[in-house]
Every structure is written in C-alpha cells, then in structure tokens.
Amino acid sequence: MRLLGEIAGKRILELGCGSAPCARWLAGQGAHPVGLDLSMGMLSRGLAAMEQGGPGVPLIQAGAEDLPFADECFDLACSAFGAVPFVADSARVMREVARVLRPGGRWVFAVNHPMRWIFRDDPGPDGLEAVLPYFDRTPYTEFDGDGRCTYVEHHRTIGDRVREIVGAGLVLDDIVEPDWPEWLDREWGQWSPLRGQLFPGTAIFVSHKPE
C-alpha cells in the first residue's frame, strides 16, 4: 500500500479483492476503493465482514480481463495476489487497467515471485529442490473427482510480466522483491524462514500510466 503513494481521497480499483481486506483497509484510510472479484463466494465473505462494522466498499463481480468501468475513472489500481496469476491472458488485464486509470495513475500488483514456480510449494527442505523449468508456461491445474477443473494458475517469467506491462503502454517504475523479515519465524503454507532467507517469495510490480 505504501507503494501506491497518497491514497486519501483517491479512487482506487482493487483487482481480485477476494473478501476485500485490502479495499476495506483503504476505505479506512480515507480512500474511495472499489473491489472487483470473479468469485461471488469471496465477495459474499467481504459483504459479511462489512456487516460486522467498518467502512462500506462497493464490490463488483466481474473478470479482470473485461473491466466494467469507463476509461480513466480511477486514480490508482492495486492487487494483492489477486486475478493476475489466474487469467490466461494477463497482458489483457494490463491493457484493461491502463484503460481505466487516469493519466499519471499508479498500478501496483503483487504476485508470487516467478522463481517460486520451479520449486514445490513446501516450506521445508523439499521446497529447496528445483523441479520445474522456469521457462515452462504450462499452467498448474487441479481437478475434482468428476474431472472438473477447480484451480488454474499461470506462470509468467519476470520478462513476460515486464513485456505485458510495457506493452499496455504503462511505465514500469520498480519490481520490489521484499526480504524475509528477520523477526518472522512462522511457517504457513509454502512460506518459511528456510526458503524466505534464500530467495524471494513475492514480486511487486510498480507501474504508472504516462501523463
């Protein structure tokens, strides 16, 4: 959120907001966020959370590939691990964000760091062995017992992400690769000090639309 710059009073689009913890936090800071997600299940959780108190945030059910907004109607856009890795055509998402941002507006999004792709999602020593080629863009998929696809995640290299951002007419300002904090000794999911001290878990792309 620090990378978004001044947020108070700004119209902010959050892509893949899930239950909208980020959008709700932004509203609490005086911003005017809109949360967008494909999943009504996740948005319903956001609505339920808002019923418990705190600022209300408009939530929109839609895909990030076709944003249901007018051109240049947001000052800022952000995403915390939402939407971008889950669409086949993430270049299109970049173009859509560029369209709805006003000139000068920032677009900041966080994804799992692309180099994580080559390792198993294991916080222990097994997660230190490279098992997949970094260059293989075949999506990761999961299926239920009836053969229905229940999860798809798409891999892009750092270069792919840079080309998609620049190809949308945006200016790439930074790629932030946060260090594992020294004080953090907790393990959860694929995250652990063992892996986090050796290579980055997150890549945050910071870009803006030219004036």
Ligand X SMILES: C[S@@+](CC[C@H](N)C(=O)[O-])C[C@H]1O[C@@H](n2cnc3c(N)ncnc32)[C@H](O)[C@@H]1O
Residue ranges of E strands in 88-156: 101-112, 140-143, 149-153
Number of residues forming the site for ligand X (CB under 6 A): 18
Question: SS3 for 111-133, per residue?
Answer: EECHHHHHECCCCCHHHHCECCC
SS3 171: strand
SS3 206: strand
Q: According to CB under 6 A, which one of 7, 31, 46, 63 is a site residue for ligand X?
A: 63
Distances (CA, A) of 86 to 35, 37, 102, 103, 141: 17, 11, 25, 27, 11
How far apart, in whole angstroms, are the C-alpha atoms of residue 155 and residue 149?
A: 17
17 binds ligand X (CB under 6 A): yes
Question: Quick one: which segment of 31-39, 48-56, 94-102, 116-124 binds ligand X (CB under 6 A)?
Answer: 31-39
Q: How far is the CB of 211 from ligand X (least distance, A)?
A: 28
Query: Can you give the length of the chain in residues?
Result: 211
201 binds ligand X (CB under 6 A): no
Nearer to ligand X, 65 or 187 (CB): 65
Q: How far is the CB of 153 from ligand X (least distance, A)?
A: 9
Query: What stretches of 36-138 show up as alpha helix (H) in DSSP?
Result: 40-51, 90-100
Nearer to ligand X, 130 or 151 (CB): 151
164 binds ligand X (CB under 6 A): no
Question: Quick one: which segment of 18-26, 95-103, 124-132, 186-194 binds ligand X (CB under 6 A)?
Answer: 18-26
Interface residues with ligand X (CB under 6 A)? 16-18, 21-22, 37-39, 42, 63-65, 80-83, 86-87
